[in-house]
């Protein structure tokens, strides 16, 4: 049997990173069978399972993808939900990227060989994966459909995020119909099954969905988001959160760490920033130095937070 081609999302995986990997590995295995190829695809993950992913996997009897730390030389991989080395597995430079499925900006990757790159500016990678099942005419099993639907709903904050497009709404409607659920109700049940933010250890809160980025000046920063239906429980821990992200600035040499808690009901986010806050203040014309700032309407890290900072 051929060595498996590993399919994985970014470090600090969110629901989309895990679900898209599981869904895409399933699709690629079906396509390989159809083509009579002996290629095997294995879904993996680069970090812990988010609580909502654990719940959906369990509900649908799907095994959690294998946790990997680094890649061996020449390992063939498919990246989902990311295309930047900084956010990927250690050893990526010596691996062979055979394919990318993503919905983020281009991060400067260079390859020696052509590859399949399927990116769309839509709300989730799961939506692109679900669409590929339709294009290829591969039947979407109910469990995989539920998993992808869950990721489409968390990544678009139940279609409230400005990253949500008609493409997302259409494929969410078709997938929800296939699963037999109402998408908004299903989305709320997923957000509610997240751990209580008052009880979560602070490092889990701060790192739950956080990514490294490189500023135009070459310095690295860390931007984390926590989406919740209970913002006050998060804000009650501001002092503790500030200590934790100050620690990250010191330990990792980040120019700044920006943590923001998104209230999916009130549709806005509270910014908490430590380190040199200059880029954040300039990008949003705010003063978040030493104090937290409420940002109405800000729901998307990619489109509304990272993009303005990285454009400076």
Contact residues: a second copy, CB under 8 A: 102-121, 135, 302-303, 307, 310-311
Residue 235's H or E segment, with its range, is helix 231-235
> The tokens 């990757």 sit on which residue?
109
182: left (phi over 0), alpha (psi -120 to 50) or beta: beta
Give 70 or 111: the residue with its C-beta nearer to a second copy.
111
91: left (phi over 0), alpha (psi -120 to 50) or beta: left
Minimum distance from residue 98 beta carbon to a second copy (Å): 8
β-pairing, 66-67 vs 220-228, is unpaired
Minimum distance from residue 202 beta carbon to a second copy (Å): 31
Minimum distance from residue 30 beta carbon to a second copy (Å): 17
Give 37 or 232: the residue with its C-beta nearer to a second copy.
37
Minimum distance from residue 58 beta carbon to a second copy (Å): 31
Minimum distance from residue 231 beta carbon to a second copy (Å): 27
Give 115 or 235: the residue with its C-beta nearer to a second copy.
115
> Between the CA of residue 256 and those of 201, 210, 220, 248, 312, what are the distances in Å?
21, 13, 8, 9, 15
Sign of CA dihedral 166, 169, 175, 178: negative
Give 78 or 248: the residue with its C-beta nearer to a second copy.
78
Give 52 or 99: the residue with its C-beta nearer to a second copy.
99
């Amino acid at each position: 049997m051929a060595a498996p081609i590993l399919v994985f999302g970014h470090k600090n995986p969110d629901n989309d990173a895990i679900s898209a990997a599981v869904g895409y590995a399933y699709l690629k295995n079906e396509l390989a069978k159809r083509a009579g190829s002996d290629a095997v695809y294995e879904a993996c993950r680069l970090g812990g399972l988010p609580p909502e992913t654990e719940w959906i996997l369990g509900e649908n009897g799907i095994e959690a993808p294998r946790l990997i730390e680094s890649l061996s030389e020449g390992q063939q991989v498919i990246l989902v939900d990311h295309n930047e080395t900084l956010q990927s597995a250690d050893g990526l430079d010596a691996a062979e990227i055979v394919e990318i499925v993503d919905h983020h900006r281009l991060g400067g990757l260079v390859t020696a060989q052509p590859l399949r790159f399927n990116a769309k500016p839509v709300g989730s990678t799961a939506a692109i994966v679900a669409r590929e099942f339709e294009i290829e005419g591969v039947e979407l099993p109910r469990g995989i459909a539920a998993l992808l639907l869950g990721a489409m709903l968390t990544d678009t904050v139940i279609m409230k995020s400005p990253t949500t497009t008609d493409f997302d709404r259409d494929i969410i409607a078709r997938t929800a119909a296939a699963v037999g659920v109402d998408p908004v109700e299903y989305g709320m049940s997923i957000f509610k099954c997240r751990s209580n933010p008052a009880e979560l250890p602070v490092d889990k809160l701060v790192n739950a969905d956080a990514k490294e980025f490189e500023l135009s000046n070459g310095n690295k920063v860390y931007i984390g988001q926590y989406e919740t239906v209970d913002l006050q429980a998060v804000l009650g821990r501001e002092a503790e959160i500030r200590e934790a992200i100050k620690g990250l600035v010191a330990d990792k040499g980040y120019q700044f760490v920006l943590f923001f808690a998104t209230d999916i009901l009130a549709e806005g986010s509270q910014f908490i920033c430590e380190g040199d806050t200059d880029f954040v203040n300039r990008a949003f014309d705010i003063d978040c130095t030493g104090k937290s700032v409420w940002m109405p309407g800000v729901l998307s890290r990619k489109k509304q937070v990272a993009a303005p900072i990285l454009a400076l």
